[in-house]
């Protein structure tokens, strides 16, 4: 899931032809982002890493924080217009809890 066009776009083979990305802009409904996140993390078995811009992850923070499976790995990344905030990163929050911080 990215705020701009993904560099590594892929569509699975027909007959079901599913994209492995979601382009999000200001008009994208939060429910659509939520559905894509659930699809990529729960339903799809061909995705190992999910990259999501942190400001997009904020829109579905409850789902991102609740996802605890090792695969796919969910990595929050910055975008050109939104700086990265390590205090909001779900992975770093879990690491801090593990080390008792």
Q: Exposure pattern of 18-29 as b/e (b: 16+ CB <10 Å)?
A: eebbbebeeebe
Tens digit of each residue's pLDDT, the chain (101 residues): 544 444 456 777 778 888 889 999 999 999 999 999 999 999 999 899 999 999 999 999 999 999 989 999 999 999 889 888 888 888 888 788 888 87
Whether the model clears a pTM of 0.85, i.e. scores above it, the answer is: no
Predicted local confidence at residue 1, as pLDDT: 53
3-state secondary structure of 15: coil
Q: Which residues contact 44 (CB under 8 A, 6 or more apart)?
A: 18, 20
Q: What is the CATH number of domain 1-101?
A: 3.40.50.10580
- Give the number of other Cβ atoms within 10 Å of residue 51's Cβ: 15
For the chain, what are the domain ranges?
1-101
Q: How far apart are CA 32 and CA 13, in angstroms?
A: 23
Predicted local confidence at residue 87, as pLDDT: 85
Q: How far apart are CA 73 and CA 35, in angstroms?
A: 17
Count the helix, strand and coil residues of the chain and give each as a percent rounded to the nearest 5: 35, 15, 50
Predicted local confidence at residue 101, as pLDDT: 74
């Amino acid at each position: 899931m990215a705020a701009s066009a993904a560099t590594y776009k892929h569509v699975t083979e027909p007959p079901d032809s599913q994209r492995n990305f979601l382009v999000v802009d200001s008009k994208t409904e939060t429910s659509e982002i939520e559905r894509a996140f659930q699809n990529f993390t729960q339903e799809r078995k061909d995705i190992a890493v999910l990259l999501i811009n942190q400001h997009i992850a904020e829109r579905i923070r409850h789902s991102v924080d609740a996802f605890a499976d090792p695969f796919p790995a969910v990595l929050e990344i910055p975008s050109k217009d939104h700086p990265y905030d390590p205090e909001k990163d779900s992975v770093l929050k879990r690491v801090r809890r593990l080390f008792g911080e």
